[in-house]
Amino acid sequence: MRIDLVGLWYWPVIGGTETFMFELAKGLIGRGHEVVIHTCLLDQNNKKISEGPTQLLPQSSIQVYRYKPFLWSKKMLPTYGKLFKANLADADVVCPQTWARGASDYNAWVAKGLRKPVVLVANDVDYPAPSAAADMFKKGYDRFASKILTKLYDIVAIETDYDRPFLIKAGFPDDRIVAPGSGIGSEPFMVHGKKALTKFKLEECNYLLFVGRVAEEKSVRHLLKAAKGVNMPVAIAGKGPQVEHLRELGNKLGVDTRLLGFISEEEKFELMSNCFAFVNPSRHEAFGLTPLEAYATGCPVIASRVGGVPYVFGEGRALFYEYGDIAGLRARIDELANVREQYKPDLDHARQYTWEEVTLRYEKIFQQALRNNK
C-alpha cells in the first residue's frame, strides 16, 4: 500500500505535525508500505528549503517531494496562505495533515478528483489562535470549510476524543471519526541515569519540573506561584519569551527557580525520571506529549485539566486540577508529598501510545479507507 502524506511543512521545519509525519512514515515503511511526503518548498518565513520546484529527497527511505506554491500571501496566516498541488496520481491513500489548512484541504480536493480515499489527520482542531485577528480569520475559515470538508474526507483521525464534539458540530458523522492517538518513542521507558542532576545541581526526587516552550500560554507562572513555600526548587527546561519574567517572578516570590534553558533529549529524560513531579500547567494541550513522556519515565504528573490530556491519562493516573487554580495546584503538590514513596505509574497504559502501537492503528485506518473506496 502506498500512503501519501500531505503537510504544509516538513523537516527541517520542526514541530508536532512534522515529527508526527516522520514517525508515522518510518513506522509504516517498517511494516512494508511505501510512504511519500508532499510539502511546501517555502518555510514559515517564505525562505526556500531546497533547490528546484519539485525534488525527491531520500530520508530514512521516506520519499519527500517539495513544491513551489502556486498561491501564497505574506498577509495571510502562513498556515492558510500557501497552496501547492501535489502529484497524488500513484497514491493508494492520501492523508493530509491538520484540520482546516489551505494546502491540506486543496490537496484533499485534488485527491477526490482522482477518486482516492482521503484520511485527514485532524490534530488540535480547537487550537487557540495567536491573536484576535487570527482568531477571527480561523473561525471564518472553519465555518466556510466545514461545509466542504465533510465531502472531502472519508475518515477523520484525531489525537483524542476531546476533538470529537467539534468535528460532529462541523458536520462529520460520528462513525467517520476515529481516535488513534499520537505517539512517543521507546526512550522514556528506558533506565535513565543522573548526570543531568549533577550538571544542574539538583537532588533526586526533590524538585518540581516543567519542560517545554517558556511562553505565556504554558502558564509556568502558575507553577511558581503554587510552589511558594514548598521546600524544593522548580526546574524549568526550555526557551521562550517568558524566561526573564519567570526569573523576576521567582525572585519576587522567593522560589528557588532553576532556568535550565535548552536541554538534550537524554537530559530531559534523566530530569523527568528523577523529579518529585512533572507539572504541566498549560492553558491548552491538544494531546499532552511531554506529560505522557514524563509519565513513561516513571514520575508522577500534575496537570491542568485541559484539552486532550485527561483523555490520554484517563482516571487515576495523573493528578489533575482546574486550569488557573493556584490553590488547587498547590493542593495537588501537597497531596503527592504524602504518597510519593508509594507512587507507581501504569506503564502498560503509557505503552499504548508508543509509535509502534500508533502505527498499527493508523495502518488499520488506511486499510479500511482503501476497502471503503472500492
Residue 252 has a pLDDT of: 97
Reported as a single tens digit per residue, the pLDDT across 18-39 is: 889 999 999 999 999 999 999 9
d(CA 222, CA 216): 10
Q: What is the pLDDT of residue 128?
A: 63
Instruction: Please give the helix or strand (H or E) that residue 335 lies within, else none.
Output: helix 326-337
- How much is the pLDDT for 129? 62
Dist. CA 173–CA 175, nearest whole Å? 5
Residues of the chain above pLDDT 70, percent: 89
pLDDT in tens, 358-368: 999 999 999 99
130 pLDDT tier (thresholds 50, 70, 90): low
Contact 69, 83 (CB under 8 A): yes
Q: In this predicted structure, what is the pLDDT of residue 134?
A: 65
What's the mean pLDDT when you consider all of the chain?
89
Residue 335: CB atoms within 10 A of its CB come to 12
pTM equals: 0.89
Topology of domain 2-183+354-372 in CATH is: Rossmann fold (3.40.50)
Give the pLDDT score at 53.
40
Determine which of 134-143, 186-195, 220-229 has the lowest per-residue pLDDT on average: 134-143
Using the predicted structure, report yes or no on whether residue 74 has a pLDDT greater than 60.
no
- pLDDT confidence band for 82 (50 / 70 / 90): confident
Interval 223-252: pLDDT, tens: 999 999 999 999 999 999 999 999 999 999
pLDDT tops 60 at residue 77 = no
* 72 φ/ψ angles, rounded to the nearest 5 degrees: -155, 155
Judge whether 2-183+354-372 and 187-350 match in fold: yes
At 137 the pLDDT is 67
In DSSP notation, 208-233 reads EEEES--SGGG-HHHHHHHTTT-SS-
> Residue length, the chain?
374
The pLDDT score that the predictor gives to residue 48 is 81
Contact yes or no for 83/106 (Cβ under 8 A): yes
| Residue 26: predicted pLDDT | 92
- Whether residue 317 is predicted with pLDDT greater than 90 in this model: the reply is yes
Count each helix (H run) and each strand (E run) in the chain, helices first: 13, 16
Check pLDDT > 50 for residue 268. Answer: yes
Give the start-to-end residue ranges of the domains of the chain. 2-183+354-372, 187-350
119 in Cβ contact with 366 (< 8 Å): yes
The alpha carbon of residue 152 and the mean position of all alpha carbons in its chain are separated, in whole angstroms, by 24
Which residues lie closer than 8 Å to 366 by C-beta, 6 or more apart?
A: 1, 3, 92, 93, 95, 119
Question: What is the pLDDT at residue 56?
Answer: 43
DSSP 247-306: HHHHHHHT--EEEEES--HHHHHHHHHHSSEEEE--S--SS-HHHHHHHHHT--EEEES-
Side by side, the strands of the sheet bearing 277-280 are: 257-261, 234-237, 208-211, 277-280, 301-304, 319-321
The CATH class of the 187-350 domain is: alpha beta
Give the pLDDT confidence score for residue 51 in this predicted structure. 44
Where does 46-204 show beta strands of DSSP type E? 56-59, 62-67, 71-72, 82-83, 93-96, 119-121, 155-157, 177-178
